[in-house]
Amino acid sequence: MSNPATDYSLQDPPKIPFEPLIERNSSISEPTWVRWSLIFVAILFLALFLLLPLISVFTEALRNGLGPYFAAIVEPDALSSIKLTLIAAAIAVPLNLALGVSAAWCITKFEFRGKSLLISLIDLPFSVSPVVAGLIYVLIFGRQGYLGPWVMDHDIKILFAVPGIVLATIFVTFPFIARELIPLMQEQGTDSEQAALSLGANGWQTFWHVTLPNIKWGLLYGVLLCNARAMGEFGAVSVVSGHIRGETNTMPLQIEILYNEYSFSAAFAVASLLAGLALVTLGVKSFLEWRYGDELAAGRKH
Amino acid sequence: MSTASKPGRRKSPRSAIPGFGINLGFTLTYLSLIVLIPLAGVFIKSAGLGWDGIWHVVSSPRVLAALQLSFGAALIAALINAVFGPLVAWVFVRYQFPGKRFFDAVIDLPFALPTAVAGIALTSLYSPNGWIGQFLEPLGIKVAFTPIGVIIAMTFIGLPFVVRTVQPVLEEAEKELEEAAATLGANRWQTISQVILPTVFPALLTGFALAFARAVGEYGSIIFIAGNLPMVSEIAPLLIIIKLEEFDYAGATAIAATMLTISFVLLLLINSLQAWSRNRGGRK
């Protein structure tokens, strides 16, 4: 925001908060009792369906007290699952970040044929079941797969190993950042980039000093959602991981194994870490919306 | 696209901005390697099976029951969300109440909470001695390990899709239209059903479609609560995994191809329905 050249053209005119007097007009609002019953129904629905499951994760995790809780988390298999989850996210998120920025740059700064098709294709992983996302890599790298024999000959492990888990994670989280950036950058247009270029900046300088400052909050927002999904992905990873304890189990898979062994409180202890991640994600997201709402607003419109 | 015709956004087709070729090249390569070519593999593999091969797999009673459950329960869950989603969006856009910001953040929980975590949490809530299950048990309602549990899990993951697509449209809806309707003698209910509802309807359809598509493919949050009894509460994605574990790659591929095809056709249908309703509503 320090660059004055970018400021004048991009901001919407300041929004003046005002409550129109008409708000009190009964012809376009509901009676108080209707109002409060609707609020009651909405909150009850949210509390029952969304809030209660979240609370129950922490309650179940701490059911036997803090000692067993920490014991379940520092258990070697749990620790190795945490490590693998972090590795997978650390590879998948930066790659999808690069793709998201690159794709949004083409789509929003240029006109070309097939653009809406490209947008639909980027969204495609959203409408594919995570299990199918795992299956497609089994069909390629599996024993009877297209590249299976080649992979075996060269002694490369993809399936039932870390590369497969990373691939599946990349597939599932593919659209998150691009989706967040495209509407935002579309709204901002190309005027400031054109101005920077006419003043002699090169392409990289234009992106770094003009475009990036304008999209940074949207970018952070997309990275957050992408990361939450990358660390929490279950279906796709479950298909390609092979469930080797201490080796190819991510946190969600570790939760499944513990749960199926009836070690409920250990399962919920690991789950509480992921639920904590979700809470942090939501917290930062709400903060961004509250603090930088105007800069993110374009992304909310459809 | 409607955005191209918006005034105030001029984009010259021959842009002076650099980096088109390299970025498009990178995007297309990445897209092809990660998404398109692997997905095409499913269809090539299933084409190898032929219609008879696919039909043989899909028409077996167990697979039919699973597909029916996945699509049927997803439809019911999306319908539940199509009722409560707009209601929630309406309350958050129009009314002020304590705790609003907090609950607004809670709506996105299913986006952020890993599905396996949601799955075990829902199961513990709805099992016969769980917080909610203990009240339903005396009434003779069994949720966990039945198709009702599947619907509950699908409703959980689908809600934010509907709320978050309807909410921005409601926020932008012009109050002047409602005033005009009131001036012309419409009562509040007529205004809502004939002025506001048509405005949000395309967004509602989009949200419905997204929630439905997500629910059909959902795996993690369902398998714990479903109990996975064959023919009763076994969803199609789980059946794919079971076939894979039996090294029945052909069977798994046939189910996957069927699911993908049905989902794509439905999304296409809803997209065109949405375009139709948008034109009819006189919106851009």
**A52 lies in the same domain as A105:** no
- Number of domains comprising chain A: 2
Rounded to an integer, what distance in angstroms lies between the CA atom of residue A141 and that of residue A203? 39
**A35 lies in the same domain as A140:** no
**A36 lies in the same domain as A76:** no
Dig out the tokens for B206 from the structure: 């989009």
In a domain, A159, yes or no: yes
**A36 lies in the same domain as A181:** no
Q: What pLDDT digit, counting tens, does each position of A65-92 carry?
A: 899 999 999 999 999 999 999 999 999 9
Flag whether residue A212 sits within 8 Å of chain B, measured between CB atoms: no
A186 neighbors A56 (Cβ within 8 angstroms): no
In a domain, A12, yes or no: no
Q: Which of residues 50-79 of B touch A (CB under 8 A)?
A: none
**A88 lies in the same domain as A179:** yes
B118 neighbors A271 (Cβ within 8 angstroms): no
Flag whether residue A167 sits within 8 Å of chain B, measured between CB atoms: yes
- Closest CA–CA distance from residue A22 to any residue of chain B (Å): 9
Q: Containing domain of residue A50, as a range?
A: 31-62
- Closest CA–CA distance from residue B91 to any residue of chain A (Å): 6
Whether residue A298 is predicted with pLDDT greater than 60 in this model: the reply is: no
B74 neighbors B215 (Cβ within 8 angstroms): yes
Q: What type of residue is B113?
A: L
Whether residue B163 is predicted with pLDDT greater than 90 in this model: the reply is: yes
Region B147-151: mean pLDDT is: 95
**A132 lies in the same domain as A260:** yes
Q: At what angle do helices B20-31 and A115-123 cross, to 10 degrees?
A: 40
Rounded to an integer, what distance in angstroms lies between the CA atom of residue B38 and that of residue B35? 6
- The candidate with the shortest Cα–Cα distance to A236, out of B21, B34, B128, is B34
Whether residue B88 is predicted with pLDDT greater than 50 in this model: the reply is: yes
Architecture of domain B50-283 in this structure: Orthogonal Bundle (1.10)
CA dihedral B81, B86, B87, B91 (to 10 degrees): 140
pLDDT at B8 (0 to 100): 42
In a domain, A188, yes or no: yes
The shortest CB-CB distance from A282 to any of B87, B105, B169 is to B105
Q: Which of A128, A171, A206 would you mutate first to test chain B, the one with the most B CBs within 10 A?
A: A128
In a domain, A245, yes or no: yes
Q: Count of alpha carbons within 13 Å of A168, Cβ hemisphere only? A: 36
Check B260 against A35: CB less than 8 A apart: no
Task: Give the phi and the psi of residue B5 in degrees, each rounded to 5.
Answer: -90, 0
- Closest CA–CA distance from residue A225 to any residue of chain B (Å): 7
Q: What angle do CA B5, B10, B12 make, to 5 degrees?
A: 110
**A132 lies in the same domain as A277:** yes
Q: Which of residues 106-165 of A touch B (CB under 8 A)?
A: 106, 109-112, 116, 118, 121-122, 124-132, 135-140, 142, 144, 146
Predicted complex ipTM: 0.84
pLDDT at B252 (0 to 100): 92
Dig out the tokens for A191 from the structure: 């005027």
Rounded to an integer, what distance in angstroms lies between the CA atom of residue A69 and that of residue A63? 9
In a domain, A250, yes or no: yes
Flag whether residue A290 sits within 8 Å of chain B, measured between CB atoms: yes
- The candidate with the shortest Cα–Cα distance to B158, out of B170, B146, B150, B169, is B150
In a domain, A57, yes or no: yes
Residues of A in contact with B180 (CB under 8 A): none
Q: What pLDDT digit, counting tens, does each position of B89-99 carry?
A: 999 998 999 98
Rounded to an integer, what distance in angstroms lies between the CA atom of residue A46 and that of residue B109? 10
- At residue A297 the predicted structure's pLDDT band, cuts being 50, 70 and 90, is low
- Closest CA–CA distance from residue A115 to any residue of chain B (Å): 10
**How is chain B split into domains, by residue range?**
50-283
Name the average pLDDT for chain A: 85
Residues of B in contact with A53 (CB under 8 A): 113, 118, 121-122, 125, 156
